[in-house]
């Protein structure tokens, strides 16, 4: 039985002034997938996230979630419909405790403070921040800030989670831990689209990889297929790769 | 039952009890009037705190809502004899409407721009108030101000010859707003407003309809402030546009909340009580020196912003927690 | 007074507004702080200038030599010892408003300090030229306003040259554009802030001095002017120096033209509406660069 399409982008283009940041991008995400979105700096990866999560409205094209057209909806409406996201530059509510931060997310699905706390504690267990629940968010280490970022998004009970470089800036041991955490999240039934600079981790995690360059999708396939694609090698290493 | 005999419950109860008893020991109407004003300012600061503290929107124009409540209720009272008790609801609702009218177009303004916009609204409103002498056939007094008709002892019209009822009324208002703040602090709305204050974009990404939350906060804050205006009108019985809608009123409300600790439940209350008492004391002690009490006021605000930006609450919280612990400890020992 | 005369006199006044607003917009452009004490500083300079004239017979324009450096120093020290600690403490806050509140508190303290020391009297330096006017056929132009206007323009020109031509001016503009990059470039940001605040305060002081020969000073006169300055800087674009001057002239013009057709108060209401319209629809103003709002 073919898997259900969860998210679909149809010919999505966005221009900022004269610059086309994302050009005619189409792809499908199937329920239960874990897909990597990679590409060199400035390829438009984060812009794709901003389009999906409603921060930007596409100049052309449509975005569908579960068959519903969500193009042009506001970020909070899209979050309501089941897409959670993290920010590349983490954005904790710094003056508040870790638990408070996550409860803000959990309140999306309940009006009850007690239920929100329960949900938040559950999520904190999952991401491994339970013991730091009373620490002020601004006093967390980088790793923990990234965990918190994921926890906040998870607390909104998303069907699809957009992870924007959650592994960047972590040391190898921490990367392994975070990879394990993402696997756990995926196992709990959440579809994941992730942007990653740490290619090895992205390859290890993703069932499928899409490569973006100058706002265009230049390759798509299994990690092995993508890494052997000459276009991808060119995009990452430049035209002079063969000569050097 | 036992759970209620902990310091967490009986200490606040004790404080309220003391506040209730005060009029029994003070007979001077002057002092009672000041005490009523102290509670009233604490109330206004708490009302401002909903939008200025929790939601972090620095409104420098809350005088507008005080004036709206005061004028609406007083005009209805003077012209069609509507009791200010009902006026409280109508005045509050008109103020809430104004809050939304100011809040809607300023939704996307942040920080300094929002503050400037509120100053612009308030100044525009004040100028209109000064230059309107009549609304239809109802006289508003314009720049000369508006005298609220005095009926003598008329409880049904919120008028009393004694200051005691005014004191209790201020206390009731204060307890209501503190109760509300206490609820807000633990509610979904409170979490949402705090999230908006800390990072609006991140709040949006967590599914928060930030525009709606901010408008609700603006309406609630303006409503309570407007209700305060109705009370003020009956206590002072003279509405002067510059005093009630001007920068002095608007800034004072903000200063009280800041010095006490904005964004906390009790900070604005503590700030309101502390600063108003200091202000009144300097006014009494240095009556002949014009400007001294406001000078001190300004200096205190400056010192707090520099050295205790989180407000007096920071200084009060720890000793209070210690006291609670101490009393708790003693109780446990006694029980064993 | 004819229509043309009053329009000209309005524009002359607008020059002074522009000078005042320039100081405000400079401070905002570089430090991202709205200085609510700006009007109070203007008032201080007015009062000082008056008393120097009253006691020593010093012409207000001569008192510039004494008062302008004093105001610079006042501003410099204010930033160094009150605003700096607040900014340092608020580094990680996204919407730092502590500094704004601080200046509001300072305004109250300064106004009431002056009230305590000098009283609440209305003071004006009635110099020989205070009541003078130049009459060309039916035109009547107020001499003190003309002096004020010319001085404002000269100061504005010099200030602009300073910002563009000097090393310090460039460092200041760089700091305004990106504090982080300025730091990397080796600019002493804190010192630049102090100098910017000093210059901004001196500009407010100059505006006060040129006003005193024809405008009554009292402790709360600053409130009148700061509200206008707010309107002007938003109109011209917060942070835009030439925008402030143009904005000042526009407000001066509107005030005088509108005064021909309606009462001063309706003019004020009209201006507030225009102000709000700008703030809400085009917060970057006429000349503003696109700062975050």
Express each pLDDT in B253-309 by its tens digit.
999 999 999 899 999 999 999 999 988 888 888 877 888 888 988 999 999 999 988
What are the helix (H) ranges across chain C? 3-31, 38-56, 60-78, 84-89, 98-118, 143-165, 167-177, 179-184, 189-211, 221-236, 241-261, 264-281
Residue B116 lies in a domain: yes
Q: Is the pLDDT of residue A240 over 60?
A: no
Cross-chain Cβ contact B124/C90 below 8 Å: no
Cross-chain Cβ contact B194/A100 below 8 Å: yes
Residue B121 lies in a domain: yes
Q: Is the pLDDT of residue B336 over 80?
A: no
Largest Cα separation within chain B, whole Å, is: 74
Rounded-to-integer distance, Cα C93 and Cα B199, Å: 10
Q: Distance from C113 to chain B by nearest Cα, in Å?
A: 6
CA angle B218, A101, B47 (to 5 degrees): 25
Average pLDDT over residues B313-325: 88
CA dist A241 to A199, A231, A244, B36, B149, Å?
18, 12, 5, 81, 90
Q: Distance from A233 to chain B by nearest Cα, in Å?
A: 34
Rounded-to-integer distance, Cα B45 and Cα B264, Å: 11
What are the helix (H) ranges across chain A? 45-52, 75-80, 98-106, 113-127, 142-155, 172-187, 199-205, 223-227, 230-237
- Other CB atoms within a 10 A radius of the CB of residue A68 amount to 9
Domain count, chain B: 1
Q: Which residues contact B260 (CB under 8 A, 6 or more apart)?
A: B45, B266, B267, B268, B269, B270, B271, B272, B274, B275, B311, B312, B313
Instruction: Nearest chain C residue to B288 by CA: give it.
Output: C116
Specify the pLDDT at position B331: 58
- Supply the pTM of this predicted model: 0.91
Residue C227 contacts B, CB cutoff 8 Å: yes
Higher pLDDT, B44 or B24: B44
Interhelix angle for C38-56 vs C221-236, to 10°? 130
- How do strand B138-139 and strand B146-147 relate by DSSP bridges? unpaired
Cross-chain Cβ contact B206/A104 below 8 Å: yes
User: Which residues in chain B are contacts of C293 at CB distance < 8 A?
Assistant: 108-111, 113
CA dist B188 to A37, A106, B194, B238, B273, Å?
35, 10, 10, 40, 29
Let me know: does B60 contact B255? Beta carbons within 8 Å.
no
**SS3 of residue B261 by DSSP:** coil
Specify the pLDDT at position B36: 95
CA angle B16, B22, B27 (to 5 degrees): 160
Ordered by where they begin, the domains of chain C are 3-281 (1.10.3470)
Specify the pLDDT at position B334: 47
Q: What is the four-CA torsion angle of A37, A43, A49, A52, rounded to 10 degrees?
A: -100
Average pLDDT over residues A210-221: 90
CA angle A201, A219, A88 (to 5 degrees): 45
- How do strand B134-135 and strand A216-221 relate by DSSP bridges? unpaired
Specify the pLDDT at position A241: 44
Instruction: For residue C274, give both structure tokens.
Output: 């225009």
Residue B188 lies in a domain: yes
Matching residue, tokens 């303004």 = B109
Express each pLDDT in B137-160 by its tens digit.
888 888 899 999 988 888 999 999
Rounded-to-integer distance, Cα C181 and Cα C187, Å: 9
Rounded-to-integer distance, Cα A98 and Cα A107, Å: 15
Selected for mutation to probe chain A from B200, B206, B263 (highest A CB count within 10 Å) is B206
Interface pTM (ipTM) of the complex? 0.90
Rounded-to-integer distance, Cα B275 and Cα C230, Å: 28
Express each pLDDT in B219-240 by its tens digit.
999 999 999 999 999 999 999 9
Specify the pLDDT at position C96: 66
Low-confidence ranges of chain C (pLDDT < 50): 290-293
Let me know: does B77 contact B87? Beta carbons within 8 Å.
yes
User: Which residues in chain A are contacts of B205 at CB distance < 8 A?
Assistant: 53, 55, 75-76, 79, 85, 87, 153
Cross-chain Cβ contact A156/B194 below 8 Å: no
Average pLDDT over residues B37-42: 96
Question: Which band of pLDDT confidence, cut at 50, 70 and 90, is reported for residue B107?
Answer: confident
First to last CA, chain A: 48
- Other CB atoms within a 10 A radius of the CB of residue C4 amount to 12
Rounded-to-integer distance, Cα A102 and Cα A119, Å: 9
Residue B154 lies in a domain: yes
CA dist A200 to A36, A38, A173, A204, B100, Å?
11, 11, 13, 6, 52
Burial call C127-143: b when 16+ CB within 10 Å, e when fewer? bebeebbeeeeeebbbb
Residue A85 contacts B, CB cutoff 8 Å: yes
CA dist C20 to B288, B304, C204, C209, Å?
34, 29, 5, 11
Specify the pLDDT at position C292: 38
Rounded-to-integer distance, Cα A75 and Cα A77, Å: 5
What residues of B are in the A interface, CB distance below 8 Å? Answer: 186-188, 191-192, 194-195, 198-199, 201-210
**SS3 of residue A228 by DSSP:** coil
Q: Distance from B143 to chain C by nearest Cα, in Å?
A: 12
Instruction: For residue B238, give both structure tokens.
Output: 């003279």
Rounded-to-integer distance, Cα C23 and Cα A239, Å: 53
- Other CB atoms within a 10 A radius of the CB of residue B212 amount to 12
Express each pLDDT in A40-74 by its tens digit.
888 889 999 999 999 999 999 999 999 999 999 99
Residue B268 lies in a domain: no
- How do strand A191-195 and strand A34-38 relate by DSSP bridges? parallel
Express each pLDDT in B269-281 by its tens digit.
999 999 999 888 8
Residue A152 contacts B, CB cutoff 8 Å: yes
Minimum-distance CB partner of B205 among A75, A103, A110:
A75
Specify the pLDDT at position C37: 96
User: Which residues in chain A are contacts of B206 at CB distance < 8 A?
Assistant: 76, 79, 104-105, 108, 152-153, 155-156
CB-neighbour burial class of residue C161 (10 A; exposed 0-12, middle 13-18, buried 19+): exposed
- How do strand A60-65 and strand A34-38 relate by DSSP bridges? unpaired
Q: Which residue range forms the structural domain that includes residue B205? A: 27-259
Specify the pLDDT at position B11: 85
Selected for mutation to probe chain A from B204, B207, B210, B216 (highest A CB count within 10 Å) is B207
Residue B267 lies in a domain: no
Minimum-distance CB partner of C265 among B127, B291, B297:
B127
Rounded-to-integer distance, Cα B171 and Cα B155, Å: 17
Residue B81 lies in a domain: yes
Let me know: does B296 contact C105? Beta carbons within 8 Å.
no
Rounded-to-integer distance, Cα B101 and Cα B94, Å: 10
Minimum-distance CB partner of B206 among A79, A110, A113:
A79
Specify the pLDDT at position C94: 57
Residue B60 lies in a domain: yes
Average pLDDT over residues A19-25: 91
Minimum-distance CB partner of C106 among B105, B116, B298:
B298
Specify the pLDDT at position B5: 73
Instruction: Nearest chain A residue to B187 by CA: give it.
Output: A113
Percent of chain B with pLDDT over 90: 62
Rounded-to-integer distance, Cα A34 and Cα B132, Å: 66
């Amino acid at each position: 039985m073919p898997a259900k399409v969860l998210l679909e982008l149809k010919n999505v283009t966005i221009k900022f002034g004269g610059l086309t940041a994302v050009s005619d991008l189409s792809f499908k995400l199937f329920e239960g997938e874990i897909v990597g979105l990679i590409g060199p700096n400035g390829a438009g990866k984060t812009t794709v996230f901003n389009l999906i999560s409603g921060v930007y409205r596409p100049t052309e094209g449509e975005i569908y979630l579960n068959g519903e057209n969500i193009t042009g909806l506001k970020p909070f409406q899209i979050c309501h419909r089941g897409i959670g996201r993290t920010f590349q530059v983490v954005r904790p509510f710094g003056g508040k405790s870790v638990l408070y931060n996550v409860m803000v997310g959990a309140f999306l699905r309940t009006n009850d403070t007690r239920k929100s706390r329960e949900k938040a504690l559950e999520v904190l267990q999952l991401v491994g921040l339970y013991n730091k629940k009373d620490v002020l968010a601004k006093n967390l280490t980088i790793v923990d800030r990234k965990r918190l970022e994921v926890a906040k998004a998870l607390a909104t009970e998303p069907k699809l989670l957009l992870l924007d470089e959650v592994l960047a800036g972590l040391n190898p041991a921490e990367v392994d831990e975070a990879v394990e955490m993402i696997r756990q999240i995926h196992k709990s039934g959440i579809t994941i689209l992730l942007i990653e600079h740490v290619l090895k981790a992205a390859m290890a995690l993703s069932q499928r990889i899409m490569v973006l360059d100058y706002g265009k999708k230049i390759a798509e396939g299994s990690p092995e297929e993508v890494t052997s694609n000459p276009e991808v090698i060119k995009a990452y290493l430049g035209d002079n790769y063969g000569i050097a | 039952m036992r759970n209620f005999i902990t310091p967490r419950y009986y200490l606040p109860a004790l404080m309220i009890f003391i506040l209730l008893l005060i009029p029994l020991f003070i007979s001077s109407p002057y002092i009672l009037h000041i005490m009523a004003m102290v509670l009233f300012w604490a109330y206004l600061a708490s009302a401002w705190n909903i939008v200025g503290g929790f939601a972090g929107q620095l409104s420098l124009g809350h005088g507008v809502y005080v004036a709206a409540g005061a004028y609406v209720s007083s005009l209805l009272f003077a012209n069609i004899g509507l009791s200010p008790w009902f006026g409280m609801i109508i005045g509050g609702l008109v103020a809430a409407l104004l809050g939304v009218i100011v809040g809607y177009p300023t939704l996307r303004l942040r920080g300094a721009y929002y503050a400037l916009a509120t100053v612009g609204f308030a100044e525009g409103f004040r100028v209109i108030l000064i230059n309107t002498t009549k609304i239809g056939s109802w006289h508003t007094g314009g720049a000369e101000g508006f005298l609220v008709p005095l009926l003598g002892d008329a409880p049904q019209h919120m008028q009393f010859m004694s200051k005691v009822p005014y004191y209790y009324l201020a206390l009731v208002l204060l307890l209501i707003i503190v109760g509300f703040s206490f609820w807000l602090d633990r509610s979904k709305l409170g979490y949402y407003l705090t999230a908006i204050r800390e990072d609006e974009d991140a709040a949006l990404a967590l599914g928060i309809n930030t525009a709606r939350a901010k408008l609700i906060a603006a309406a609630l804050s303006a409503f309570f402030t407007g209700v305060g205006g109705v009370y003020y009108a009956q206590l002072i019985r003279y509405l002067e546009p510059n005093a009630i809608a001007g920068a002095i009123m608007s800034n004072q409300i903000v200063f009280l909340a800041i010095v006490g600790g904005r964004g906390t439940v009790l900070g604005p209350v503590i700030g309101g009580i502390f600063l108003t008492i200091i202000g009144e004391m300097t006014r009494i002690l240095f009556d002949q020196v014009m400007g001294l009490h406001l000078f001190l006021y300004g200096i205190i605000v400056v010192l707090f912003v520099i050295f205790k930006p989180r407000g007096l609450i920071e200084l009060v919280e720890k000793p209070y927690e210690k006291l609670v612990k101490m009393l708790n400890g003693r109780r446990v020992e006694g029980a064993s | 007074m004819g229509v043309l005369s009053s329009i000209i006199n309005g524009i002359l006044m607008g020059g002074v507004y522009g000078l005042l607003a320039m100081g405000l917009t400079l401070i905002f452009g570089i430090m991202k702080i709205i200085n609510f004490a700006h009007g109070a500083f203007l008032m201080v300079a007015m009062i000082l200038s008056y008393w120097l004239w009253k006691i020593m017979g010093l012409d207000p324009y001569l008192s510039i030599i004494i008062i302008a450096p004093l105001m610079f120093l006042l501003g410099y020290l204010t930033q160094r010892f009150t605003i700096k600690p607040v900014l340092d403490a608020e580094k990680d806050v996204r919407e730092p408003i502590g500094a704004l509140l601080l200046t509001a508190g300072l305004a109250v303290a300064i106004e009431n300090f002056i009230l305590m020391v000098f009283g609440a009297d209305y003071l004006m330096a009635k110099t020989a030229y205070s009541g003078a006017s130049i009459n060309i056929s039916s035109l009547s132009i107020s001499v003190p306003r003309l002096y004020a206007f010319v001085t404002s323009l000269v100061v504005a020109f010099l200030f602009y040259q300073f910002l563009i031509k000097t090393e310090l001016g460039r460092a200041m503009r760089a700091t305004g554009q990106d504090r982080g990059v300025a730091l990397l470039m080796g600019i002493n940001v804190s010192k630049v802030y102090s100098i910017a605040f000093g210059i901004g305060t001196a500009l407010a002081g100059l505006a006060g001095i040129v006003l005193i020969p024809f405008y009554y000073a009292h402790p709360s006169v600053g409130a009148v002017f700061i509200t206008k300055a707010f309107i002007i800087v938003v109109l011209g674009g917060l942070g835009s120096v030439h925008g402030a001057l143009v904005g000042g002239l526009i407000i001066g013009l509107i005030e005088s033209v509108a005064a021909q057709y309606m009462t001063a108060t309706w003019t004020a209401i009209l201006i507030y509406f225009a102000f709000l319209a700008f703030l809400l629809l085009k917060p970057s103003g006429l000349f503003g660069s696109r700062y975050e709002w």
